[in-house]
Amino acid sequence: MSDVNSRMQAASQFLDIADAQIKKSLVWIKQQCLGGKGVSGEKLDGHQMASFDLAWCAAEATTARFAVAYARKAVAASDTSGDAICLEEQMTLVFCAEALQNIRNRFSARPQSFGLGEEDIALLDANALTRFCRAQLDAGNLEALGRQVIAMDGASGAYLLGEDALMMQESFRKLATHVVMPLAEEIHRKDKIIPKEILVPLTEMGCFGLSIPERYGGIQSDDHEDTIGAAGSLITRPEILSRALQKGGTEAQRQKWLPQVAMGHPLCAIAVTEPDTGSDVAAIRLKATKCEGGWHLDGVKTWCTMAGKAGLLLVLARSNPDRAAAHKGLSMFLVEKDSYEGHDFEFRQPQGGVLTGRAISTIGYRGMHSYELFFDHIFVPDENLVGGPEGEGKGFYSTMAGFAGGRIQTAARAIGVMQAAFERAVLYATDRKVFGKAIGEYQLTLVKLARMATLLTVSRQFTYAVGRLMDQGEGQMEASMVKLFTCRTAEWLTREALQIHGGMGYAEETAVSRFFVDARVLSIFEGAEETLALKVIARSLIDSV
């Protein structure tokens, strides 16, 4: 165990060096951007490239920290002792080396953009740190790790979950294997809506109530949260809505809607994004105009997933016409509508309002359909203003409460896609033969599989760790980091899985082609990568130093 501690301690010390440079750069950029009221957003925009890179440096360093903690736990739970090195520790050391190398490369390419000097870069070029990175990233070391992965039939590290979580994991795997997978290709290729064969068992498993406390008909404990239990694209919309209601809704609204949402009746959708605002939530224009007994909504929303089939929309609108009010002029509304199966719909209210929707054609992530919505004088009763009269102008904050959960769920989705792609890649690499032997016997393939297993494992454990933080009321920053890191990682991993399949990987009949196009959107929705890095992660890090 002493050798394990020594190796982990060395990795931690090297991460300390990287963290020091990250902090120094954050302090320098903050000094350059100070204005009359703290950090000037306009000045900070002049450092976007450095801010983006710093968000990535911080995300990778944080991932590495959680990976080290994971490796220590995995070693303690195993029979490994002395000089022996277990799979989890080996992958952690490889990832730490890769993270340190990435951080060094970003800083050394343009140190002046980060306010760093040659002496700072020299710390990242120290002999001990350089030897560590070279040893872990050596082709022979990665090849050996790849062989270990294949020998263990694609094992990617111990999960280290409790019994309840493991039972839930097994239930989801059975559902995915026996129900979802046989239908997935047809749903994708024919762009069908998710059928009842999937929705019914999800409802029976309580999936729509994972984020809803037991007192409101969900399966979340009343006295503590369990964020790890909540994951999946269909579950994200109820997650955001339920958290928004728990944050800013009235007790009457919670009593009315949360039990229904927990049962999947109605299904719900979130209408926040607009064509000209993207991730800039504070710039929303859809108008909410006060009228007798309620409000009228007029305007356009886009990328509203599941809006056709949903019977309830959570809509963020501008209730204060003064644009200078920015995010403080936004309110959130619950819009009830009929459910529709098709790619287009038109919903007419008795009061005369009309809501029309058009599904947007996409290259992947099909089955749920994302809509552009046109609100024409849609009436919403006063009782459906989230938070009641006290909730007017507070919709932005309720939205943010829901989005944090949405981000960790997106990370979980990325891991699910990665896991599926990785399993297919390992299987194909052992079965497919070229030039007289299985492609999994070649060094390049082995290195690919080693890195895929490593990135999958650290992404999963980062997500678990953030879930535990959120259960304690913390982890908002880490939720953004894990979304940033895992979604980009999913793009790379699914690309490599497709590449291992060669020409067959490009065929629609092969599942990895679907995984590849599905993964591409993950870095865009629930907070686009650039906005997340610049406006959330970097800005928060700079404000906090």
In this prediction, residues 101-116 reach a mean pLDDT of 97
Question: CB–CB of 101/138 below 8 Å?
Answer: no
pLDDT above 90 for 541: yes
- Mean pLDDT of the residues in the chain: 91
Examine the pLDDT at 234 and tell me if it is beyond 80: no
Q: Which residues pair with 333 in a beta bridge?
A: 315, 385
Query: 17: which 2 tokens?
Result: 């060096």
Label residue 93 exposed, middle or buried (CB < 10 Å: 0-12, 13-18, 19+).
Answer: buried
16 — pLDDT class (breaks 50, 70, 90): very high
Q: State residue 3's pLDDT score.
A: 75
pLDDT at 154: 83
* Cβ contact 68:53 at 8 Å: no
Sign of CA dihedral 151, 134, 19, 113: negative
Domain boundaries, given as residue ranges, for the chain: 2-137, 268-393
- Determine whether domain 268-393 maps to CATH 2.40.110.10: yes
Kindly tell me if the per-residue pLDDT of 251 is higher than 60: yes
Determine the average pLDDT of the residues in 418-447.
95
d(CA 6, CA 496): 33
| Interatomic CA distance for residues 177 and 423, integer angstroms | 13
Question: Phi/psi class of residue 374: alpha, beta or left (left: φ > 0; alpha: ψ in -120 to 50)?
Answer: beta
Looking at the predicted structure, is the pLDDT value of residue 232 above 70? no
pLDDT at 272 over 50: yes
Q: Contact 18/56 with Cβ under 8 angstroms? A: no
Q: For residues 441-448, give the mean pLDDT.
A: 97
How far CA 138 is from CA of 42, 77, 86, 134, 179, in Å, comes to 43, 28, 18, 6, 42
Query: Is 526 among the catalytic positions?
Result: yes
Q: Which pLDDT band, with edges at 50, 70 and 90, does 211 fall under?
A: confident
Q: List, for residues 453-465, the tens digit of each pLDDT value.
A: 999 999 999 999 9
Residues belonging to the chain: 545
Instruction: Indicate whether 230 pLDDT > 50.
Output: no
Res 224: pLDDT: 67
Distance CA 72, CA 180 (A): 36
Amino acid at 281: V
Highest mean pLDDT among 151-165, 204-218, 324-338, 490-504: 490-504
pLDDT at residue 83 above 70?
no
18 vs 527 pLDDT, higher one: 18
Q: Specify the pLDDT at position 207.
A: 84
Query: Which pLDDT score, from 0 to 100, does residue 282 have?
Result: 74
pLDDT of residue 444: 97
What's the average model confidence in pLDDT over 343-362?
A: 96
Percent of the chain with pLDDT over 90: 70
Judged against a pLDDT cut of 90, whether residue 237 lies above it is answered with no
Q: What pLDDT sits at residue 326?
A: 82
Sign of CA dihedral 260, 261, 262, 267: positive
Q: Nearest-5° angle of CA 455, CA 458, CA 464?
A: 140
Looking at the DSSP bridge assignments, the partners of residue 374 are 300, 356
Catalytic site residue from 474, 526, 529, 530: 526
**Per-residue model confidence (pLDDT) at position 221:** 76
Angle of CA points 375, 380, 383, to nearest 5°: 155
Nearest alpha carbon to residue 351 among 388, 380, 385, 312: 380
CA distance to 61, 65, 102, 160, 487, per residue, from 56 (Å): 8, 14, 9, 27, 12
Q: Is 360 helix (H, G, I), strand (E, B) or coil?
A: strand
pLDDT tens string 166-196: 888 898 889 889 999 999 999 999 999 889 9
Give the CATH number of domain 2-137: 1.20.140.10
Residue environment code for 98-130, b if the CB has 16+ CB neighbours within 10 A, otherwise e: bbbbbbbebbbeebebbbbeeebbeebeeeebe
What are the pLDDT digits (tens) for 43-82? 999 999 999 999 999 999 999 999 999 999 999 888 655 5
Kindly report which listed range (81-85, 418-422, 519-523) carries the lowest average pLDDT score: 81-85
pLDDT (tens digit, 9 = 90+) per residue, 23-36?
999 999 999 999 88
At residue 117, the pLDDT reads 95
E-assigned strand segments in 382-464: 433-434, 437-438
Of 223-227, 256-260, 385-389, 539-543, least confident by mean pLDDT is 223-227
> What pLDDT, on the 0 to 100 scale, is given for residue 172?
86
Strand partners, 38: 35
**pLDDT value for 408:** 85
